[in-house]
Structure 1
């Protein structure tokens, strides 16, 4: 464990700033709208905290203090004039460095895009800023968001705020670490094989992988893709739902986008979940190895749901073939999206990325048909499973945060992990279900490392998943434990 420094003298201004940065997003937004706080005051407090603590974590990799303060001042002026305010009015946010931001560099964690500045915002960025959020910068990612450990040759590695010798996860590792460290109250992420859920688990925050189509992505190379999705992150389930409410909603350019508007997710999440039918799968039906310290934490959580009046049964959806489905469709997407870079700049790509693109190039038409057929079979089996159960609970990650110098864990309790994907099966098997999946803090190991619980529902059942997560969060309070920073 990284040893936190001893007590140090802090100025009253620093203490006040830190207290403000610890507020939940829902509370912070209400105080701004009520006039208790100004947007400029809130943004300045977060900029101050980033200046003091980001060098130890490396979560924020691009910062625009002047632009952020100017936008905050303009937001205060709009409020003073009595104009309508969006639900995120005055909240600072640093966008994931794979999401295009107009006039601010978007590097994808690659030397090939180190100075790339987009001309346009992508859809989710427009929606979030249109709801009143203030852009302050960008959060770190692994190269082209490949892998669940955030490091790259442009900015280096992001460190876990709870133990700075360890990984913050990825690919939304900068986002999760910045939430945990108090650099921003909400964060955008994305998830194909766990890129939003794993870092939430590693950093003791909340992250939701929505149903494909809930948060439409535009522009996108493959408008029919259901593997990769964008989603919200926060320090609480309610904060995550608040951000989802502006990210979600239909877009006619995205054929899989769901028609339901997102505003409904702003409704209070309080619900008595007594009688909820809960399936518990601590190792996904014996399909994945789970490190003993993770399993020790996760196995205790079934009792929490029983104490809340739920009916808990150890069971798991039929995931046979999920490995082939996920890896085949992922490899196809990597080759489609990045194959041209492999041809032109192979030396500029990390070896794991080269391997995954080349896996895509070896695919045949028969491979793709087999994967699509298997995907359909798993979906139908999951549909039947969720007629028996309301939610599934399982570990988010099979391991605790690992050494920041390692690219990925090569062993789980004696079982070798041969590629940068192997250790993520507990997340990417769930991807294949097409279900909303919430990562919520589940407690800490004896070594003080965070562990997340995955709450999964049937497709389009985000509301059920969020309400279940909120009830669990209120019963446990694990997310209230914050890291100590130098």
Structure 2
């Protein structure tokens, strides 16, 4: 089993297609791994054992009939618990949706099933995707497989931890301000935020609608590309969906070379708040790109220094609007419905009980920012900063093909260390937020271990909108060069659970 669960998704799919392995064997091995280690990791909120095995059997029957299998048929996947799944609980990490069974699949869920990907279950996350550590889940924090006393990143820490713990070879996350990339950096996995609108948001429980984006998580760049190709594409059910062809991300990942590319380095992404070891690994990554034939160009994007402030006005404002639907009258938790309270009181009592502290904090902040007399001063000003950030990206991409930076300013911090300091927590997404505000594509790949603590560091790559293939081209080249230098994938250095 140990060798089987450590195969890449591409290797697993090839062995299933050839008949060397069955999808049921692969699925049972990963379910056994989850049963063995997840009590310690807490990556999963719900494991759909029966559903996963049924999907796996269907793949094996399809192969036996001689039908052609897709590139990821039979490969297990961990799905962030923010996408609706018909007949399977979707909680968004919140008590207010505890026990809710959706009557329909999200478009992304449907695409996974149509591609014969085996969905193992739903992963832990910060409540409503609000957080940078997966400590805000109503169902307890997830541990980082590199050190279970530390956070795995957030909000999609469950998906990243499932990959790093070898509980699944593929996972799905969502990225509103860095929630795919930051956990990838802290667990030595690969995480991609596609161009905004490239992956349908239909059936994804909304946090901040102009920023939310689903995307692939994996242990290799090629595996992420194969998953990206499955889930991306136009969707008429999503009004923000981009009606353009999906870039050839798989071809780019297989090509993996950077010779002749212009790579930008933003000078604002260093200095105070950046861990020395993180910057050391980042500088080594830039030098590696130079050695491979890339041209390094220094850039200045002054508006990026205001990105965190703008984000924490825009995102809470949109969350305050989106979460108004959770009124306890139609679905979800209902408190005080004993005939002695009005509908308004039932809603208030249910929200008090069902929402956690971080969700309440952001709803209050957003409601205030949108209130009469403050809208222009706060929300309106933040949108102007957002425009400046988009313009800085546009100017930069006239000079370079991609931009690189550290993914996060520090490595994974101990669980509870920043629980009482929301500002310090928010700064975890310092490097990732600008790409969300502009809608660009971005990726995080492992680039080494910080010498101070031996924990993973991530390299972020940002590309223009709908140039997602550039991420995979650069990411695969860097991945191959580092693995040649290290002699193995970085994740192999993680302690055994």
TM > 0.5 between the two?
Answer: yes
SS in structure 2 at match of 1:233: strand
* Shift in Å, 1:88: 1.8
Q: Distance in 2 between matches of 1:346 and 1:219?
A: 25
| 2:435 maps to 1:430 | yes
What corresponds to 1:281 in structure 2?
266
Cα displacement string for residues 337-368 of structure 1 (whole angstroms, at most 9, x for unaligned residues): 22455844224322222111111111243133
What corresponds to 2:335 in structure 1?
none
What corresponds to 2:40 in structure 1?
56
What corresponds to 2:139 in structure 1?
155
Aligned residue pairs: how many?
A: 463
What corresponds to 2:108 in structure 1?
124
| 2:381 maps to 1:396 | no
Q: Distance in 1 between matches of 2:152 and 2:320?
A: 27
* Shift in Å, 1:61: 2.2
| 2:376 maps to 1:371 | no
Matches within 5 A, 1:217-232: 217-219=201-203, 225-232=209-216
Cα displacement string for residues 246-278 of structure 1 (whole angstroms, at most 9, x for unaligned residues): 111011232332223448333352143112111
Q: Distance in 2 between matches of 1:464 and 1:153?
A: 34
- Indicate which of 465, 469, 482 corresponds to 2:475: 469
Name the CA shift for 1:31/1:306 in 2 (closer, same or farther; >3 Å).
same
What corresponds to 2:336 in structure 1?
none
| 2:345 maps to 1:345 | no
* Shift in Å, 1:152: 4.7
Cα displacement string for residues 316-341 of structure 1 (whole angstroms, at most 9, x for unaligned residues): 43425423432221011110122455
- Indicate which of 469, 491, 495 corresponds to 1:481: 491
- Indicate which of 315, 318, 322 corresponds to 2:299: 315
What corresponds to 2:333 in structure 1?
none
TM-score of the aligned structures, taking structure 2 as reference length: 0.88
* Shift in Å, 1:150: 1.1
- Indicate which of 116, 121, 144 corresponds to 1:137: 121
* Shift in Å, 1:147: 0.3
- Indicate which of 464, 473, 479 corresponds to 1:458: 464
Name the CA shift for 1:419/1:357 in 2 (closer, same or farther; >3 Å).
farther
- Indicate which of 183, 190, 194 corresponds to 1:210: 194
* Shift in Å, 1:63: 1.1
Cα displacement string for residues 62-120 of structure 1 (whole angstroms, at most 9, x for unaligned residues): 11223322221121011111223232210111211111111111111112222111111
RMSD across aligned positions (CA): 2.2
Higher mean alpha-carbon deviation, 276-285 vs 59-68, is at 276-285
Higher mean alpha-carbon deviation, 338-347 vs 137-146, is at 338-347
Name the CA shift for 1:442/1:199 in 2 (closer, same or farther; >3 Å).
same
What corresponds to 2:425 in structure 1?
420
Name the CA shift for 1:324/1:445 in 2 (closer, same or farther; >3 Å).
closer
Higher mean alpha-carbon deviation, 271-280 vs 163-172, is at 271-280
TM-score of the aligned structures, taking structure 1 as reference length: 0.90
SS in structure 1 at match of 2:148: strand
Structure 2 unaligned residues grouped into runs of 5+:
327-346
What corresponds to 1:3 in structure 2?
none
